[in-house]
């Protein structure tokens, strides 16, 4: 009986010892700090930064340890990058933000990519919009087995294609029915012809620059488009009033000489010509010249009004003047040209679709 009691006591002691050892090990493990590699976030360093670190290391003639400490990298990394210095330099010239000097996986069927790139460049030269789907369809038309013909795999491929050739999806900044190359040729032809006339023995050689004026119209809205407003958080309804006018704008004619002198602004409001609104607005114009037109546009009548109100006072006493106007139908009327000729003014119409000729707006 006594022996059984001792055996039970021995088992109980073993059990307590095991529990104590387990708790002790757990406590010790909790006190050990986590390894640096597991707690530190992985740092990605582009090749241009790697090259900068290597160049700093080579110039300093110091230890790799001090350079690594200065740039917060590992000593082994500095030594490894120094060994591939030339590769880093070559890679940084082509793609400075690349993370590795390795070329990556080989391009699948390079001849297909070459054909797709040629296709893109041809469309781009003709100012035609290009989408990723167009590139995918083109690739499949060349080789139906390209990337297994899978739309999912081709979608991954097309974005890699854009990245590989430094392309991106952009919003067009200009839309036109003519190509940019054609417009560039028209612009250069006009500039060469017009500037040549101011050279010695040119037809405009004796016209001083203060007599050369650029005039353009610009639309001025009473208020900008409402995109956002400030309201209470959680508001279910966020109201914003807008202009009640059907034509919430005016047309403003601005003119400036080559020497920078500004002519008086000429503003066209919506209204009946000669009506009460013109008299009322003129009395409060604060130096602005004002008229009205049914749609607040520039037409022959308002163009003639600008000539009478702005241009005639400017050219008074001047022998010869030059007026640059945009390619607008009311500016090209014979009656407008004749009216300006009577004032010894030569009219030059700027070619259309070349907004950079006139930077007034």
Give yes or no for a contact between 132 and 158, defined as CB atoms under 8 angstroms apart.
yes
pLDDT for the residue 293:
85
pLDDT for the residue 6:
43
Q: Name the residue with higher pLDDT: 119 or 175.
A: 119
Q: Per residue in 86-114, pLDDT tens? A: 888 887 777 777 777 776 667 788 899 99
Measured distance CA(151)–CA(136) in Å, rounded? 8
How far is CA 276 from each of CA 28, 280, 283, 298, rounded to the nearest angstrom?
Answer: 94, 6, 11, 20
Quick check: is 147 in a domain? yes
Q: Per residue in 318-333, pLDDT tens? A: 888 999 888 888 888 8
For the whole model, what pTM was predicted? 0.49
Residues 138 and 251 in one domain: no
Domain membership of residue 78 as a residue range = 40-94
With 70 as the cut, is the pLDDT of residue 222 above it?
yes
The region of weakest confidence among 3-7, 127-131, 247-251 is 3-7
Neighbouring residues of 204: CB distance < 8 A, sequence distance ≥ 6: 197, 198, 320, 322, 346
Quick check: is 344 in a domain? yes
Quick check: is 30 in a domain? no
Quick check: is 236 in a domain? no
Q: Name the residue with higher pLDDT: 142 or 205.
A: 142
Q: Name the residue with higher pLDDT: 60 or 215.
A: 215
The average confidence (pLDDT) of the chain is 78
* Percent of the chain with pLDDT strictly greater than 70: 74
With 70 as the cut, is the pLDDT of residue 34 above it?
no
Residues 186 and 317 in one domain: yes
Calculated CA dihedral for residues 297, 299, 304, 307, nearest 10 degrees? 50
pLDDT for the residue 49:
84
Neighbouring residues of 168: CB distance < 8 A, sequence distance ≥ 6: 162
Give yes or no for a contact between 127 and 179, defined as CB atoms under 8 angstroms apart.
yes
Structure confidence at residue 313 as a pLDDT band (50, 70, 90): very high
Q: Name the residue with higher pLDDT: 98 or 245.
A: 98
Measured distance CA(324)–CA(319) in Å, rounded? 17
Measured distance CA(280)–CA(217) in Å, rounded? 23
Measured distance CA(260)–CA(304) in Å, rounded? 24
Structure confidence at residue 67 as a pLDDT band (50, 70, 90): confident
Domain count, the chain: 3
With 80 as the cut, is the pLDDT of residue 153 above it?
yes
Residues 258 and 294 in one domain: yes
Q: Name the residue with higher pLDDT: 242 or 5.
A: 242
Q: Name the residue with higher pLDDT: 351 or 258.
A: 258
Quick check: is 265 in a domain? yes
Quick check: is 5 in a domain? no
Q: Which residues of 297-336 are buried (b: 16+ CB within 10 A; e: fewer)?
A: ebbeebbbbbbeebbeebbeeeeebbbbbbebebbeeeeb
pLDDT for the residue 25:
65
Quick check: is 28 in a domain? no
Winning range, highest mean pLDDT, from 6-10, 139-143, 281-285: 139-143
In a 13 Å sphere around the CA of 216, the CA atoms on its Cβ side amount to 18
What are the tokens at 326? 């945009």
What's the mean pLDDT in 186-198?
A: 74
What are the tokens at 15? 């059990």
Angle at 58 between CA 54 and CA 64, to 5 degrees: 70
Q: Per residue in 8-21, pLDDT tens? A: 566 767 767 776 77
pLDDT for the residue 307:
92
Residues 313 and 217 in one domain: yes
Quick check: is 4 in a domain? no
Residues 139 and 87 in one domain: no
Place of tokens 């930077």: 359
Structure confidence at residue 288 as a pLDDT band (50, 70, 90): confident
What's the mean pLDDT in 272-296?
A: 72
Winning range, highest mean pLDDT, from 233-237, 271-275, 335-339: 335-339
Structure confidence at residue 207 as a pLDDT band (50, 70, 90): confident
């Amino acid at each position: 009986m006594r022996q059984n009691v001792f055996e039970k006591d021995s088992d109980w002691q073993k059990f307590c010892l095991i529990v104590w050892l387990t708790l002790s090990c757990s406590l010790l493990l909790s006190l050990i700090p986590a390894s640096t590699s597991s707690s530190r976030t992985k740092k990605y360093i582009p090749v241009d930064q790697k090259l900068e670190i290597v160049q700093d290391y080579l110039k300093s003639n110091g230890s790799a340890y001090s350079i690594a400490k200065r740039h917060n990298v590992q000593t082994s990394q500095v030594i490894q990058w120094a060994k591939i210095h030339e590769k880093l330099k070559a890679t940084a010239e082509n793609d400075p933000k690349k993370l590795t000097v390795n070329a990556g996986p080989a391009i699948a069927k390079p001849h297909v990519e070459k054909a797709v790139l040629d296709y893109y460049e041809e469309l781009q030269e003709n100012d035609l919009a290009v989408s990723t789907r167009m590139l995918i369809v083109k690739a499949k038309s060349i080789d139906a087995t390209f990337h297994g013909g899978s739309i999912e795999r081709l979608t991954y491929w097309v974005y890699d294609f854009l990245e590989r050739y430094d392309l991106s999806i952009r919003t067009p900044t200009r839309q036109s029915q003519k190509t940019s190359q054609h417009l560039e040729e028209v612009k250069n032809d006009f500039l060469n012809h017009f500037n040549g006339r101011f050279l010695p023995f040119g037809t405009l050689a004796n016209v001083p620059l203060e007599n050369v004026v650029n005039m353009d119209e610009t639309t001025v809205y009473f208020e900008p488009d409402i995109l956002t407003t400030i309201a209470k958080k959680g508001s279910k309804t966020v109201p914003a009033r807008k202009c009640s006018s059907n034509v919430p704008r005016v047309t403003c004619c601005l003119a400036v000489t080559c020497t920078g002198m500004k002519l008086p602004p000429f503003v066209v409001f919506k209204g009946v010509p000669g009506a009460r609104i013109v008299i009322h607005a003129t009395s409060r114009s604060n130096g602005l010249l004002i008229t009205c037109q049914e749609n607040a546009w520039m037409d022959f009548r308002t163009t003639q009004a600008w000539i009478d109100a702005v241009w005639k006072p400017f050219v008074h006493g001047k022998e010869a003047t030059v007026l640059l106007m945009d390619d607008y139908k009311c500016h090209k009327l014979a009656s407008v040209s004749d009216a300006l000729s009577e004032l010894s003014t030569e009219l030059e119409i700027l070619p259309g679709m070349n907004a950079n000729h006139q930077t007034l707006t």
